[in-house]
Structure 1
Amino acid sequence: MQLFIGGTCAGKRSIVRQRFDTAVWHSAYIGCALKKWPSSAASTRCLVMEGWEHWLAARLADEPDDDGLRQAMAIELDALHAWEARSGGEVVLVMLEMGRGIVPLSAEKRRLRDLNGWLAQDAAARCERVWYVWNGLLKQLSY
């Protein structure tokens, strides 16, 4: 797996599209549910997963326990990693970096920000390569 992370409108999508031009995209931004990714993966060798902050936000109300929600999202990451190993395909994660900037006043938005940061850490730990995108520039963070 590879992780591309950066701020809003930093150029993540453009860079991923250039590098993985035949990938199938599974995106929360167009209403794809996280649990439905296996149907997207069935017909591809490269699956791009984006919109993790939306998938997290959708689960906040149903899961009051941060550790439980973090574990549930880690299970999704493990399933993607297993699909990659089983199929010989590649998973590309595109995640929004929310840790820079103003800390939200709302407890719910702070919780989302924290969970998104933990999710990014969990994703990075499972990925072979981690890339940071800022202003359309790409920097490899891990090997």
Structure 2
Amino acid sequence: MQLFIGGAYAGKRDVVRQRFEAPHWHSAHAGGRLEAWRSLAETRCLVLEGWERWIGERLAAEPDDDRLRQAMARELDALWGWEAERGGEAVLILLEMGRGIVPLGLDNRRLRDLNGWLAQDAAARCERVWYVWNGLVKELSR
């Protein structure tokens, strides 16, 4: 897996389009549910974006942040397994939220916390992690 992370409108999508040939996009922004990627298994390159929306959809239904984080981590593990089994490549696009600013509202704070934990969990599982800012790309290392 590869992870592209950066702020809103930083150029993440453009960078992914330039680097991957004929990727299949699965996006929360287009109304796709996170679990629906499983039905797209025939593709060689799967791009998943809109994680902050998928987290946001689950906030009201799951009051326990640890359980919600674990559910998202299971999706990452399933993607990793899909890559290993099918020989495909999963590309994650995550929004870097807040740049350290903590919102006052509980729901917004939970969303940012969970998105940050998801970014950490994704980075730990990905072969390569890229930070995109103003259309510039830098590979991050552990």
TM-score band w.r.t. shorter chain: over 0.9
Residue aligned with 1:22, SS: coil
| 2:73 counterpart residue number | 74
CA contact (8 A) 1:24 1:46 kept: yes
Deviations 1:25-84 (A, max 9, x none): 0000000000110112x2210000000000000000010000000000000000000000
Structure 1: 5+ residue stretches without partners: none
TM-score (norm 1): 0.96
> CA–CA distance in 1 between the matches of 2:141 and 2:90?
16
Shift of 1:108: 0.4
TM-score (norm 2): 0.97
Q: Which one-letter code corresponds to 1:68 in the other structure?
A: R
Q: Gaps spanning 5+ residues in structure 2: where?
A: none
1:63-142 mapped onto 2 (5 Å cutoff)? 63-100=62-99, 102-142=101-141
- Note the alpha carbon deviations across 1:1-42, whole angstroms, 9 max, x for none: 0000000000000000111130000000000000110112x2
Amino acid in structure 2 at the alignment position of 1:27: S
* Alignment-derived partner of residue 10 in structure 1: 10
Aligned length: 142
* Other-structure match for 2:31: 31
Aligned to 2:60: 61
Match of 2:5, SS? strand
Task: Give me the whole-angstrom Cα distance separating, in 1, the residues matched to 2:54 and 2:21.
Answer: 24
- Cα distance in 2 between the residues matched to 1:44 and 1:24: 7
Identity %: 73
Q: CA RMSD in A?
A: 1.1
Runs of 4+ deviating beyond 2 Å? none
